Amino acid sequence: MAEAENPNTTVESLRRLATDKDSDVRWTVAGNPSAPADVLDRLAGDENLHVRGAVAVNPKITPEAIALLCFSEDTRIRQALSENPAVPEHIRVGLSL
């Protein structure tokens, strides 16, 4: 797990860890500020709510991940997006209504 949370972990390692069967490992990768865009995009569609939530608060969230998560049926995901300063303001305002 230390490798998944280390911001100095290589992109290749983060990509590998993002496919781990353990959702805690994927959750940790999703929260890593060094996670590359393609990893965040993939994890935004993860089956695990907590993994998706970690993507929602990641300061490097991508437009693709935002587009996917802003339509989440889970209000906690939309709330997390609305509080992430990396999400454009017009989206954050719309999510907080």
Looking at the structure of the chain, the number of domains it has is: 1
Tell me the average pLDDT across 50-78.
Answer: 95
Per this entry, what is the length of the chain?
Answer: 97
Strand, coil or helix: what is 73? coil
Residues 33/6, Cβ–Cβ less than 8 Å: no
Answer yes or no: is pLDDT of 97 > 70. no
Structure tokens at 31: 């929260």
Domain of 13?
2-96
Is pTM beyond 0.85 here?
A: yes
